């Protein structure tokens, strides 16, 4: 979990941030909460974001994957897609998240795939499907983010995490 892996981004996204002097793949992270929960982003673009999270360490008292952990994975993936859709001049802020939990998981790794439902100028909505290692759907979530203009003092790009 401590090893940072590089995320696969579309070249045009890398170029956009490089023009601002930012090495996006080197600096990108799932954020402090995502890192604490073991979220790994594998692929990220405005059309699809893929990430994983271990079940171990993210369970409720009955030993099942915590619904809140699924929500963290879903919001992380949908927010990344929204951020990349908005581009370097926008900040994505989650305004609505809903999750339907379909089955319990006790071990292994879950994988989330976020795909856009709506990508507008001021909002972006992503559906996130979280599956277990056998490909069975564990959770379906929908996240809507507000896309607001970057203001002075906002972070110019995702910050690295401490490993």
Q: Which are the catalytic amino acids? A: 75
21 class by beta-carbon count within 10 Å (0-12 exposed, 13-18 middle, 19+ buried)? exposed
The DSSP H or E segment spanning 94 is: strand 90-101
Q: Are 38 and 53 in contact (CB under 8 A)?
A: yes
Residue 155: half-sphere exposure toward Cβ, Cα within 13 Å: 10
**Cβ distance 72 to 12 under 8 Å?**
no
CA–CA separation, 143 vs 53, rounded Å? 18
Q: What distance in Å separates the CA atoms of residue 76 and residue 40, rounded to the nearest whole number?
A: 10
Residues ≥6 apart with Cβ < 8 Å to 64: 104, 105, 106
């Amino acid at each position: 979990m401590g090893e940072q892996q590089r995320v696969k981004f579309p070249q045009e996204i890398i170029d956009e941030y490089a023009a601002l002097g930012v090495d996006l793949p080197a600096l990108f992270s799932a954020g402090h909460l995502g890192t604490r929960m073991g979220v790994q982003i594998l692929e990220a673009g405005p059309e699809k974001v893929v990430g994983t999270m271990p079940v171990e360490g993210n369970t409720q008292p009955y030993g099942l994957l915590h619904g809140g952990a699924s929500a963290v994975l879903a919001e992380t993936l949908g927010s990344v897609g929204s951020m990349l859709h908005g581009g370097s001049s926008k900040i994505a802020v989650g305004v609505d998240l809903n999750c339907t939990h379909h089955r319990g998981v006790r071990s292994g790794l879950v994988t989330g795939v976020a795909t856009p439902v709506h990508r507008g100028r001021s909002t972006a909505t992503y559906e996130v499907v979280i599956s277990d290692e056998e490909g069975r759907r564990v959770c379906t979530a929908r996240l809507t983010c507000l896309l607001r203009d970057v203001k002075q003092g906002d972070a110019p790009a995702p910050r690295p995490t401490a490993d």
